[in-house]
Amino acid sequence: MEIKALMAEHGGVFVTYPTPSNHTHIICNHLTAAKVKQFERSRAPKPVVRADWITDSIEAGRLLPGLILSGNWPKGPTPNPRAADRTIFHVDLDCFFASAIEADHPIFRGKPLAISHSNNRGTAEVSSANYEARKYGIRAGMMMATAKSLCPDLIVAPYNFDRYQQISEEAYREMMRCSSCVQPLSCDEAFMDVTGLGEPSALAESLRAAILKATACTVSVGIGPNLLLARLATKRAKPDGQHRMDEGDVMATVAGLALGDLPGVGWATAKRLEELGISSVVELQTWSKERLQASLGEKTGRALWEAVRGIDRRQVIPVAPRRSLGAEVNWGVRLDGQADAERFVLQLANEVWARLEATGLRGRCLTLKIKKRREGEGEPMKFLGCGICDNLSRSLTFARAPESAAALHEAACELLRGINCPPTEIRGIGLNVGDGGRVDRAVGGV
């Protein structure tokens, strides 16, 4: 925000989504190898400058030179993924939804508190519980009736999404002040690369104090040489603390993880590991790299062999421009017929269009997603929940990006008819607009 204000004050314009013709310089403190290659291939590469170039230019009264990326631009050394001098933070606000309520209502502190959309309906789910509530065994996803039986004095507060957004923005503002390399994971969780920015423990303590002062919410910070170990360190840091993962603890700490907690282990890989008779990280650690590569493929085998030894080659990737936009409803969807379904899709199309207008985005690819009640499944335990469903989807590509909610609605209804799912079996509907990995700015956008 300070950079934008300085640029505006001195006649400049800050462009969030650059095109070849709407900007003159690129401001960044970290440049990935992929970006270097992209700029090298550019016919008219832009000068690349750090943020302090702006203040230096203002002080000098002229635009100072920037770095032009060309084919013979020297590349820096590739960081060693196990190097001790690489420092990653995993930042996690403690019990975020509950902490936000406690920040506004300190009287709730020290008392069991849960967040849910309903205080008295037994099938409502607990979204978040503070540590006092967790002492009673209350966890996120638990039915409210169960939570109340465990703790009759449980205080239940409703959602306050406007407040969550405000606190989240304040927390991220403090993270960005600490480092320009921040990768958001959710509204209350992020990775940060703070390599070379100061003594890690002191930096984490300063960041936690700054976020607490700005939001009245506590935060835990895990410190490690890579993303995996930083995240593991956070588990030891909670609540309201910080922990630095020593490499001597790696094998034992990773051994306590579930297979699904390892980076790159999704449903398909987990199923393949089960077929191989591997049910735990401890068992996986006994396999050689060559044996894993022979069974899972060279890339996946190497990645898993490294992960169970605490090696994580992923980089902290700062937030990228939005590539798609959509809206989805998976609760309370009960439709009477085709006309009712198309009216519901109209409401979704209007919401998606409003979001497109608000962000200035456009896209040519429209995807309709349907949750269809699985055959043989009755009503779910959660009142009006989607229950166990099969996920269906269909997409189409426009010749030109649609320019109205009506155009979105018409195309979405065409996709809905193509899926051929009985409306009474639908338990969730979503609409997404993208452009095959790229979303264009609308004419007139900032």
**Residues designated as active site:** 189
**CA atoms of 99 and 340, how far apart (whole Å):** 40
DSSP assignment of 368-399, as one string? EEEEEEPTT----SSTT---SEEEEEEEEE-S
Place of tokens 């409401």: 347
Please write down the long-range contacts of 198-204, taking CB distance under 8 Å and 24 or more positions apart. Answer: 200/87, 200/89, 200/244, 201/242, 201/244, 203/89, 203/178, 204/89, 204/242
- Give, in order, the Cα–Cα distances in Å from 166 to each of 100, 189, 325, 402: 10, 15, 21, 32
**CA atoms of 322 and 363, how far apart (whole Å):** 11
Q: Identify which of 234, 163, 161 has the alpha carbon closest to the alpha carbon of residue 192.
A: 234
The answer to whether residues 427 and 386 touch, using CB atoms and an 8 Å cutoff, is yes
Which SS3 state, helix, strand or coil, does residue 253 take?
helix
Our measurement of the distance from residue 210's CA atom to the centroid of its chain's CA atoms, rounded to an integer in Å, reads 22
In 10-89, which ranges are continuous DSSP H helix? 33-41, 52-60
Q: Which residues contact 310 (CB under 8 A, 6 or more apart)?
A: 226, 228, 229, 247, 250, 251, 253, 254
Which residues on neighbouring strands pair with residue 65, listed in sequence order?
A: none
